[in-house]
Amino acid sequence: MTVLLFCSRESQELVCRGSMASPLLARKGRHQQRYDNQLRLVAGCIPYKLNTDGDNQSCDLLDRVEVLMVTSPGRLDLVFPKGGWENDETAGEAACREALEEAGVRGTLNDTALGVWEFRSKSTQKACSLEGTCKGYMFALEVTEELDCYPEKDSRDRKWVPVGEAYKLCRYDWMRKALDSFKDLLRGRRIPTVPELSEPPSLCIVKPSAADRAIALC
């Protein structure tokens, strides 16, 4: 099952006027940040789309899938959109918000988590304590809308890449493991349940994804 998580158009709409933009502001601060002991809880997603190029009609779904990666502010390495999971949203809603803020995309979120991984924030890579360690939940987001104006447009670049190329661009092992789960999900293989994410997502409608339809046709 996939679910489309959404917020009101009034709160999410981006308005562009020439070179000026009036964007939805990215959330700042950590006053609503969730923690598990000393671990900062993070949610993110692997945004993807099916390549509809007429020259690529492979029945292997993954041959037709591209994923969206973004640069970190001030760095050239590519990552998947992710950020703090706050206490007024589900993990899925946080993942959708981060995809909008960092990559300027909306879409259909699969409610099966790809998994949970622990990793350090880039500013605490060499620290010995738990401080700066994140516990991240990742999802798959089929992109249905790509915006020209979004909150972090000026500080990030975005790039669509084939799944195989994404493996080479991943800086961290946990990102490659998330891609492994992503591939299993699209191929209909079972992914271990993440028990702490049993809460139902709010504000959702059930909708078949293009990937579901493509699998059915093959």
The pLDDT value recorded for residue 57 is 63
> What is the pTM assigned to this prediction?
0.78
The pLDDT value recorded for residue 163 is 95
Cα angle: 185, vertex 190, 196; to 5 degrees? 90
User: Among residues of the chain, what percentage have pLDDT more than 90?
Assistant: 57
Identify whether the C-beta of residue 83 lies closer than 8 Å to the C-beta of residue 102: yes
User: Which residue type sits at 83?
Assistant: G
- For residue 212, name the pLDDT band (cuts at 50, 70, 90): very low
Interstrand relation of 2-5 and 105-110 (parallel, antiparallel or unpaired)? antiparallel
Token digits of residue 29 = 């601060």
Query: Positive or negative CA dihedral for 190, 191, 195, 200?
Result: negative
pLDDT tens for each residue of 13-58: 333 333 334 346 666 666 789 999 889 999 999 999 998 776 656 6
pLDDT tens for each residue of 92-119: 999 999 999 999 999 999 999 999 999 9
Residue 165 has pLDDT above 70, yes or no: yes
